[in-house]
Structure 1
Amino acid sequence: MTFSPVLPLLALLTAVNALSNGVAKLPVLGYNTWNAYHCDIDQDLVVTTAELVVSLGLKDAGYMHVNIDDCWAEKNRSSAGELVPDQVRFPNITDMTSKIHSLGLHAGIYGDSGWFTCAGYPGSFEHESQDIKSFQDWGFDYLKYDNCYIPYDEIIREGIVGKYQRMADAIADLAKDSGKTPFIFSLCEWGWSQVWLWGSTIGHSWRVTGDIAPQWSSLASIINFNSFITQATNFYGHNDMDMLQLGNGGLSYDEAKSHFTAWALMKSPLLIGTNLSAITPDILGILTNKEILAINQDSVVGESISPFRWGINADWTSNSSFPAQYYSGPSENGTVFMLLNTLDEPADMFFSLTESPWIRAGRQYSVRDLWTHTDNGTAVRNFTASAVPAHGVVALLLKDAGNEPNGTSPPCAVTSNCASENGTSVA
């Protein structure tokens, strides 16, 4: 099917009246308990995980949040209507957050905009102000907010925007009343109502698809979908492509590199979902690639990379199995390129430099490989990556290195509509 280019253009509207309240200008880096543990969590596990974030060097790489997901609460509120942490698994939740803070990290928690969380614990509908105050009192500063058990229309009398606006207003009111930094607000709405068009007016990130799975088919589908809405990501908010599934089985090493690279360069939040006590050196090396992380955390350029050519499919083709293969975007230190081999066998990947809108004609560019961490000479007019592994990735940073050599032929790298001053066309 051919995907209309109108949708990405509409995404440009998200910058209007966007939320800018002093937090989460850059994508959040951290850890989330769900992918590795689901409901099998307790406060000792969370503290141990926080300690591993430090000892493994993840904190030094920029991963600063440790977030608990669903299933942390008792199934019933207190007589005063307050949420109650599970008395067996989280007997002293403030002690847990204090230990996380003592490590120099931040703590995040999970809630839901409906009657119940997705696992059946109390949701925050009609308790928004009460719950966010409890979260702050317990020592949290990040809220992942889900979309299960939606109230009947005659009760809520809101669209999906209004349902999330209720908690956004409660967060803003709490920050004003308490004088403390506002919560980072992560909308887990799954993209059902084009959240990328309105999410930035309410939160700091927004899930664009359903849950990720540790399979190449899941990664390809998410990348494909996100490739059409990259313009929605900037310093005002971020398309959340869901948690990192590295190290949970199901992905090859090359697929894991592609997973991390696409999430990072598309400026998604990077929340690790791996059992850190069993993490391998290869996966740890992927997660701590400082050159890739530096682009995700670029403080000068907030935009995601975007496709400039789809590759095996015609441009603007939506294909959940074979997404766009050629991406680029600006960064503080040069033009970023991602070449994604979506095929099931190795492939050479070629592109003309000026296919990217961020490259100047008539210039040559130094080439930095962000995975081998090597300087790979100078590119003039075009670049070829040889034998990119199946489902593998190449990430490059190109920097302007001056005028291309005199006499480079033909006169234009792209001869279509190229003409001399007298109007003679270049064949």
Structure 2
Amino acid sequence: MSTVAWVVAGLCLLPITQAELPGPDFRHPVRHHQGNEQVALLGAAPSAALVRPNDVGRLPALGWNSWNAFNCDINEEKFLTAAQKMIDLGFKDAGYEYVNIDDCWSIKDHRDEKTKRMIPDPERFPEGISGTANKIHDMGLKIGIYSSAGTKTCAGYPASIGYETIDAEAWAEWGIDYLKYDNCNVPQNWTDECNFCVPDADNGSLDYINGTCMDDGNYCPPDYDWSKSNTAKRYQIMSDALLAQDRVILYSLCEWGHAGVQYWGNTTAASWRSTGDINTNWDRVLEIFNENSFWGHYTDFWGHSDPDMLEVGNGDSMTPNQWRTHFAMWAAMKSPLLIGADLSNVTDEAVKIMLNKPLLDFNQDPVVGKPAMPYKWGTNADWTFNKTYPAEFWAGRFQQGVMVLMFNPYDATKEKVADFGEIPGLEKGASYKVTDAWTGDDLGCRTGSVLANVGAYDTAVLVVGEKCYGQGNRVMERMGEGFIGRDFTA
């Protein structure tokens, strides 16, 4: 395949070849941190990744977060219930481990006068955050907490700018394992001198063409060094405070894709938000999916571009087909997978989707760190930035072979063909053993391609395994819920 160009937010042109997409031999250089000792390792990558002890942050985080289901309506009981449901429904056994407290956990109007620490709300958390943390740890799970790199959180509670060391020490003492660090209420002296184009309606960027912001937004020049921006500095201060603690705390940036975070995020944290906030509207999920699809080259071990939490099972505004696409693409992009639904009321279908073993195996593969990448757009010309019709054909290597995803963005069933000659890592005209990732059905040996009729807004997911020799195509009787297979000629 010929060399192509990534066009990201009108600021980055990153030529890559299909041979680079995606491969197990590409590795980031890494910055090991054990106590205060740092060791730089050589290698070719966008930036040096932050490596923590015990593999914390090496793979995308798996867990649950309170915000999407409950917003500020939280208390200890809801977190303990979520933790127990994670165990009862099989999420813990599947690798989900974090139970994360989002905004609104502290007293709202002041810190402790003597220690300057934030004060856990005694009505919501009668034994403090440390008491809740002990109970979560006793269940074999980990606990996360929330703050913002500003004067107040997004809901108006005390935040951490100017208190980074005090807060990091408190969280480590309380037994915290994960920090989500937001971007609200930034004081004027900490704002950036110019802006990074984030073509996202949630960030106010409505006037853009193919990912390039066209409005007069005081945008920085293409060669601007975002690692020296005030935003990068704000988040680095908290990173340093966390690194100084005896306890390892996974650090997750929630800066909404601002300040060219893809270029410096993995030197600072384990993951970084690439977009504004998600919600349960399908159009919003598509918009975020499209945005994050252009940042895959910056995801690898120890650093993951984050298109926000999962909305699978949260209400009924999306169909199961849309849930499948949402989860499949987040897993394939090696995004953190943080459940946003109330696990006390989640449907069996939503649970089944979020426990899909092949997709979790791909997301959590310990050998291949790179995500799946688009190899063909489908509706649009390749490398088109389109929030309504994102890239439809994706592939990525993992230990079981090559995962292939075919997304149908239309409201009616569409025929899709996975042509082996187009897919990186596969050979034109060759025969491979193929499995339907949704059902586990063995589709037999397929020569040259696989055809499926994909239901409205659904995504077919295939695991293309070892080569077959001397075997032709077998009739595909069923290919996943919402998919209809048929005989074909390769």
One fold, TM greater than 0.5?
Answer: yes
Deviation, 1:236, is 2.0
Find the counterpart in structure 1 of residue 375 from structure 2. 308
SS at match of 2:294: coil
Residues 291 and 370 in structure 1, CA contact (< 8 A), matched pair in contact too: yes
Say whether residues 1:401 and 2:464 are aligned partners. no
3-state DSSP class of the match of 1:339?
Answer: strand
> Does the 8 Å contact 1:3/1:317 carry over to 2?
no
Could you tell me how far apart the structure 2 residues matched to 1:275 and 1:324 are? 30
Match of 2:68 in 1: 35
Match status 1:266 vs 2:333:
yes
2:102 to 45, 69, 72: 69
Cα distance change of structure 1 residues 154 and 4 upon mapping to structure 2, 3 Å threshold: closer
Q: Whole-Å Cα distance in 1 between the matches of residues 192 and 416 of structure 2?
A: 51
Deviation at 1:7?
A: 3.3
Equivalent pair of 1:14/1:197 in contact (CA under 8 Å) = no
Deviation of 1:57 after TM superposition, in Å, equals 1.4
* Superposition map of 1:114-153 within 5 A: 114-153=150-189
Cα distance, 1:351 vs. partner? Answer: 3.4
**1:273-312 to 2 correspondences below 5 Å:** 273-312=340-379
**Deviation at residue 291 of structure 1 after TM alignment:** 1.8
Tell me the SS of whatever aligns to 2:48.
coil
Q: Matches of 2:354 and 2:13 in 1, distance apart? A: 29
Unaligned segments of structure 1, at least 5 residues? 407-427
Measured at CA, do residues 404 and 327 of structure 1 come closer, stay the same or move farther in structure 2, by a change above 3 Å? farther
- Which among 4, 7, 17 is matched to residue 7 of structure 2? 4
Change (3 A) 1:173 1:283: same
What residue identity is the alignment partner of 1:160? T
Q: Is the 8 A contact 1:363 1:400 kept in 2?
A: no
| Contact 2:147/2:180, CA 8 A, preserved across alignment | yes
* Partners of 2:106 and 2:464 in 1: CA distance: 49
Q: Is 2:271 the partner of 1:200?
A: no
User: For 1:220 and 1:48, how far apart are their aligned partners in 2?
Assistant: 31
Aligned to 2:296: 230
Secondary structure of the 1:330 match is strand
- Residue matched to 2:140: 104
Q: Is the 8 A contact 1:341 1:347 kept in 2?
A: yes
Structure 1 residue runs of 4+, over 6 Å off?
10-13, 154-157
1:367–1:398 CA contact under 8 A, matched in 2: yes
Deviation at 1:45, TM superposition (A): 1.5
For 1:300 and 1:95, locate their aligned partners in 2 and report how far apart those are by CA, in whole Å.
37
Is the contact between residue 27 and residue 238 of structure 1 (CA under 8 Å) also seen in structure 2?
A: yes
Alignment-derived partner of residue 371 in structure 1: 438
> Residue 88 in 1 paired to residue 155 in 2?
no
Q: Deviations over 1:232-256 (max 9, x none)?
A: 1110211111111012221101101
SS at match of 1:314: coil
Q: Aligned letter for 1:65?
A: Y
Q: In structure 1, which of residues 4, 7, 18 is the aligned counterpart of residue 49 of structure 2?
A: 18
Question: Aligned partners of 2:331, 2:152: CA distance in 1, in Å?
Answer: 32
Q: 1:335 to 1:356 in 2, by over 3 A?
A: same
Equivalent residue, structure 1, for 2:447: 380
- Give 2:244's match in structure 1, choosing from 173, 180, 184: 173
> Kindly tell me: are residues 154 and 358 of structure 1, through their superposed partners in 2, closer, same or farther at Cα, counting changes over 3 Å?
closer
Q: SS of the counterpart of 2:349?
A: helix
Measured after TM superposition, the shift of residue 218 of structure 1 is: 1.2
Q: Which amino acid in 1 is paired with 2:293?
A: S
- Does the CA-based 8 Å contact 2:192-2:231 persist in structure 1? no
Classify 1:131/1:342 alpha carbon distance in 2 versus 1 (closer, same or farther; 3 Å).
Answer: same
1:212-231, Cα deviation, whole Å (9 max, x unpaired): 11122111111111111111
Alpha carbons of structure 1 residues 3 and 304: separation in structure 2 relative to 1, 3 Å:
closer
SS at match of 2:52: coil
Residue 310 (structure 2) pairs with residue 244 (structure 1): yes
Compute the displacement of 1:25 (Å). Answer: 0.5
The 2-side partners of 1:405 and 1:156 are apart by 61
**Structure 1 counterpart of 2:231:** 160
Alignment-mate amino acid for residue 225 of structure 1: E
- The letter of the residue matching 1:166 is I
Change (3 A) 1:404 1:165: farther
Match of 1:163, SS state, is helix
State the secondary structure of the residue aligned to 1:40: coil
Structure 1 residue aligned with 2:79? 46
Query: CA separation in 2, counterparts of 1:404 and 1:19?
Result: 48
Answer whether contact 2:6 2:15 (CA < 8 A) is retained: no
**1:136-191 per-position Cα deviation (integer Å, ceiling 9, x unaligned):** 111111000000111222799952110100001111112xxx3x3x2100000110
Aligned to 2:200: none
Which of the numbers 92, 109, 113 marks the counterpart of 2:149? 113
SS where residue 7 of structure 2 aligns? coil
Map of 1:318 onto structure 2: 385
CA contact (8 A) 1:255 1:392 kept: yes
Using structure 2 for the length normalisation, give the TM-score.
0.78
How many residue pairs were aligned? 399
Report if the CA contact (8 A) 2:404-2:418 is conserved.
no
Pick from 266, 275, 285 the counterpart of residue 219 of structure 1: 285
CA distance in 1, matches of 2:462, 2:334: 16
Q: Counterparts of 1:288 and 1:8 in 2: how far apart (Å)?
A: 36
Paired-residue identity, %:
40
Query: Contact 1:77 / 1:84 at 8 angstroms: preserved in 2?
Result: yes
For 1:263, the aligned partner's letter is: W
2:457 to 391, 400, 404: 391
Aligned partners of 2:445 and 2:471 also within 8 Å: no
